Structure formats: C-alpha cells, structure tokens
Amino acid sequence: MSATMYPNYSPGLEGVIGGITTISDIISETSTLVYRGYNVHDLASHGSFEETAYLLLFGHLPDRKELESFMATLAAEREVPAQVYTALQQLPPSTHPMDIARLGFAAYAPFDPDYNEPATNHDANLRKAVRIVAKASTIVGNGHRIRTGKAPLAPKPEHTIAQNFLYLVNGVEPDAETAHVMDSSLTLYAEHGFNASTFACRVCVATLSDLYSGICAGIGTLRGPLHGGANEEAMHMLQKIGTPDKADAWIHNALANKDKIMGFGHREYKKQDPRAIYMTKVAKALGEKTGDTKWGQIADILENVMATEKNIHPNVDFPAAYAYYLLGIPIDLYTPIFVVARTSGWTAHMVEQLDNNRLIRPKCIYEGPTSETWVPVDER
C-alpha cells in the first residue's frame, strides 16, 4: 500500500540518491567500477593496495616519493597499544572476528592522538584515517591470534598490509604469490560507493560523531550476510555441496525452495560484478596451481544455473570465498579481510562527508495506530 500511496517511497532506498561523492563510481550497464577515475581492474592488476588506499584518501595516485612516505607512515602506525590486546583478551574464544575487530577499533580510539580534535578538522581526520587503515590488519591478525590462544606478534615494518595480515594470522613469512592474491583482493574490496556499511559510516559521522564510531558502525553493518558476511556464507554453501556432481541438484533444489544463494546478486549490478570477474580468474588460477579445482567446478555449475534460471550473477564474495579457502585462511576471517580493505573506502567517505557536512535524516511513513485513548496501567 505504502508504495502506491507514496510514490517517492523506495523500499531499501533503491534508486534514491543519498549524496554526492568523488571517490568511486559504479557503472552498472558496463559492469565497471572506478576509484577516482581509475578502473579497479587496472588498480588490482598493476597497483598495490597501499596505492589504492592513498588514491581513495588523498584523491590522486601517489608518485614514488609520496608512496614511500605513505608506506613509512603506515609502517610506523601499524602497531596498537598493549591495552587494546588486553581488552581483546577478555573476550570468550567463541567471539567472531568481526566482533573482535569492532572492539579493537573501539578500544584503540581514545589512544589516537587526534581523537579529541573537532569532527570537521580535515587534516586531523586524514591522520586518523591513515591510522585506521594502518592498524586494521594488525587488529584483525593479532585478534585472530589472541582468540586462538596465541600471543600477538609485533608487525614488521617492511611488510605491506597484505603481508602483515598473512604474517600475523599464520605466524610465518607469506610467500609472494599468496601476498599478491591478498593484495589484489584488498584493492577489489576497498571501496564501493554508498553501500550499506559506507552509508552507515557517513550517517554516523554526519552527526559530528568521530571516525572511530563510524568504523564501528561500518563493521557492524558489514558483518550481515546480505553484505560482507556473504563471503563466509558462500564458502559454507560450497562446503555443504561438497562435490561437483552434487551441485546441479543442490542449486535447483535451493531455488525451488526460494533460498537466497549467497555470493550472488547485487543491488547495483544487474549484469556482472566487475570485481567478481577479476576475482574468479584469480580463484581459478589458484585452484589450478594447488590442484584443488573442485570449488571452481562447483562454482561454474552454480553460476550457469543462476544465470539461466534467474539471470543473477556472482558478486565478488563468491569467488573471493573459494580463493581465500585455497589460501588456507580460516573461513570466519573472510569478512574481517573485507574490513581490512574497506577501512580505506569508509574513511575516505567519512572525510568527504565531514568536509561538506549536513545531518542525514530521512523521513518515514507512519502506519501505526492513531487517536488511541490513554488508559491507566491497572485498567489495561
């Protein structure tokens, strides 16, 4: 009823323009994603996640000197105070790493030397943004160590963010190929317009709250299975299917039951998600290299049936799921990897929001009762 009575109402805000940005653009018709004008495929194949993070935060690709200085700052800012680890150690071992990440940032916030700067201080916001990007892989990586009963490791200054994450999670030097796959996936996950978690970050700081509260809102929003949590759900689904010979029957049965197939579909891409195209190549290559091609084979069957029956295509979370699995990463770290990457997009958006701020406060349609008469509590 509401949709016809209120023509401006769009459930889920579909198609609603929520703001103006210069950070990224999704061109649905051509399945293209650009970060500040650069095609994400170019950034993922030729660049590094650090170059992408710099581009998102500072608006241009760094030259050699700017990149070296940025890398040095990230290295210097990578560690978190011992008090943050003490806070994480209080959590039960069953705590999901997304909750660890949220607490990690909440606990670090008051230690940021710029924490009490006014919300609209652009330079302080950028310094906070760089600290957040620098610390994300340490919070997630050492958070994983703590929940598995291991001591946190000191990050190595010579590591990239991708290497730091892998080093802390596995406790050994990552090999170059694994680090490259991780690095390119971080670039693909870095930024995506007004997606739910980024919008949550912008809504949060638009009240003149701080970037760390925004990051906590972003992490809480990302963890849901309709958003970032889909990469973990997609891997559980692939494991449940188990072998390629079971895939066709499984997917037909799931569709007959009207189940949502995790890792498929997207609000903005009605054809293909460009990130999924890139990530599928990476995941398939990993399968060939490791000799474990069954996930790619199951994926092909699901993709064909979904395209034929529903005209719905995989999003980035689908190939990322089995790529991470082939890298030996624990499944419940897949969405936290998304956090490590998306801190760059989230912070870029929060800085942009605060540079030209207006409170975000939409209207709603009231459909509850009207004209109720007050009845004293003992007479109800």
Q: Is 266 a catalytic residue?
A: yes
Q: Which is nearer to ligand CMC, 30 or 373 (CB)?
A: 30
- Determine if residue 259 is left, alpha or beta; phi over 0 gives left, psi from -120 to 50 gives alpha, anything else beta: beta
- CB nearer to ligand CMC: give 80 or 333: 333
Taking alpha carbons only, the member of 191, 155, 160, 147 closest to residue 333 is 147
Under 8 Å between Cβ of 314 and 276? yes
CB 188 within 8 A of CB 279: yes
Tokens encoding 164? 């730091």
- Selected catalytic residue, list 99, 313, 317, 349: 317
Nearer to ligand CMC, 168 or 276 (CB): 276
Q: How far is the CB of 261 from ligand CMC (least distance, A)?
A: 4
Return the sign of the alpha-carbon dihedral for residues 68, 165, 340, 87.
Answer: negative
Decide: 133 and 347 in contact? Cβ < 8 Å.
Answer: yes
Residue nearest to ligand CMC (CB): 265
Shortest Å, Cβ 104 to ligand CMC? 21
Contact positions vs ligand CMC (CB under 6 A): 12, 192, 195, 226-228, 230, 260-267, 310, 312, 315-317
Residue 123 and residue 126: Cα distance in Å, rounded?
5
In the complex, the smallest distance separating the C-beta of residue 158 from ligand CMC, rounded to whole angstroms, is 32
Give CA–CA dist 69/83, Å, rounded.
Answer: 28
Residue 320 Cβ vs ligand CMC, minimum distance, rounded to whole Å = 9
State in angstroms the smallest separation of the CB of 50 from ligand CMC.
22
Shorter beta-carbon distance to ligand CMC: residue 40 or 119:
40
What is the enclosing helix (H) or strand (E) of 144?
Answer: helix 122-147
Contacts of 165 (CB under 8 A, 6+ apart): 137, 140, 141, 182, 337, 340
- Tokens read off for 28: 């649905």
Whether 317 is catalytic is yes
Query: Considering beta carbons, is residue 181 or 302 the nearer one to ligand CMC?
Result: 302
Output the smallest distance, CB 133 to ligand CMC, in A.
19
Residues 6+ apart with CB under 8 A from 38: 55, 61
Of 101 and 230, which CB lies nearer to ligand CMC in the complex structure?
A: 230
Helical H segments across 175-272, by residue range: 176-189, 196-205, 211-222, 230-241, 244-256
Name the catalytic one among 192, 266, 313, 349: 266
DSSP string, 248-284: HHHHHHHHHTT---TTB--SS-SS--HHHHHHHHHHH
Residue 255 CB, nearest distance to ligand CMC (Å)?
7
Phi, psi (5° rounding) for residue 38?
-95, 130
Token couple for 355: 């540079």
First to last CA, the chain: 31
Catalytic residue set: 266, 317
